[in-house]
Amino acid sequence: MQELATTHRFPSSLVRNCGLVVGAAALIAASAKVQIPFWPVPMTLHTLAVLTLSVALGSRLGLAAMAAYLGAGLAGMPVFAGSPERGIGMAYALGPTGGYLAGYLVASWLTGFLAAGGGALRIAAAMLAGLAVVYAAGLAWLAGFVPAEALIATGMAPFVPGDLLKIGLGVAMICGWRSLRSGAAR
């Protein structure tokens, strides 16, 4: 009887990973709702959460967390920035910001993959690569909504200063966390 019960248990790592993915997806959703006054447009903490969690969790779990977040949004939960005011579900995802959401999905995997085992410079480079993917996908999609001559001014330029600040903060948080963990292990 004991053997039967043991063989049907979930491995603790699976339960732990599921918890990490759900928790990270919730943090991504919360970060999309936080608006910080910034010039020329307010910024959210979405980029900070996606890129930092991807480094912290790694490529596989970072991708799973972003996929869970997107799944919740596509299912109609108001997790996206500006929802429900600007729409929910597929209506929101097919709007002007849909390309950025798709870019975050790819960037979550890429950032985690490139940052694996690296120090501050590698983490920063991985986050910049992830951000480049977000901008590329976002601008490609946004081109269907705004004139070509306004694309960079509308979909990228206002966000670069804030995103660079968020990358710096994300690198500092990851490196600080690692330092605390290594100090506690001594």
pLDDT at position 153: 94
Across the range 50-73, mean pLDDT stands at 98
- 110 vs 178 pLDDT, higher one: 110
User: Does the pLDDT value for residue 34 go beyond 50?
Assistant: yes
> CA-to-CA distance for 21 and 58, rounded, in angstroms?
11
> CA-to-CA distance for 2 and 70, rounded, in angstroms?
40
Beta-carbon contacts of 31 under 8 Å, excluding residues fewer than 6 positions away, are: 44, 45, 46, 48, 49, 50
Report residue 4 as tokens.
């039967």
Across the range 103-126, mean pLDDT stands at 97
CA angle at 96 for the pair 162 and 28, rounded to the nearest 5°:
50
User: Does the pLDDT value for residue 88 go beyond 80?
Assistant: yes
How does the average pLDDT of the chain come out, rounded? 91
Query: How is the chain split into domains, by residue range?
Result: 2-185
> CA-to-CA distance for 98 and 113, rounded, in angstroms?
23
The answer regarding whether domain 2-185 maps to CATH 1.10.1760.20 reads: yes
User: Does the pLDDT value for residue 9 go beyond 80?
Assistant: no
pLDDT at position 3: 46
Report residue 102 as tokens.
């798709």
pLDDT at position 5: 45
pLDDT digits (tens, 9 = 90+) for 126-184: 999 999 999 999 999 999 999 999 999 999 999 999 999 999 999 999 999 988 888 77
